[in-house]
């Protein structure tokens, strides 16, 4: 029987939402093992001088406990 845990993280990128999502998964993968799924729960953008300066993604990651 597998037991899973869900954790919430936020990642950012100056390039776009997809890049922020990938950076978040990459960074989480450096400390969490057995990541099996991800769900984006919110997308936000930081605005400076009328321009988007940073894309932010909050996501829930599911991973199997060893």
Domain count, the chain: 1
Question: Which backbone phi and psi does 56 adopt, to 5 degrees?
Answer: -125, 135
Contact 64, 6 (CB under 8 A): no
Q: HSE-up of 1 (CA within 13 Å, CB side)?
A: 1
pLDDT, one tens digit for every residue, the chain (66 residues): 889 999 999 999 999 999 999 999 999 999 999 999 999 999 999 999 999 999 999 999 999 998
Question: Element (H or E) spanning 5, and its range?
Answer: strand 4-13
H helix intervals, 1-66: 17-29
Can you give the residue range of the structural domain that contains 17? Answer: 4-64
Find the CATH number of the domain harbouring 54: 3.30.1660.10
């Amino acid at each position: 029987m597998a037991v899973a845990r869900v954790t919430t993280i936020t990642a950012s990128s100056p390039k776009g939402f997809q890049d922020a999502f990938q950076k978040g998964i990459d960074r989480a993968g450096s400390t969490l093992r057995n990541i099996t799924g991800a769900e984006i729960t919110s997308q936000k953008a930081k605005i400076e001088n009328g321009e988007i300066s940073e894309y932010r993604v909050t996501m829930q990651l599911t991973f199997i406990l060893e």
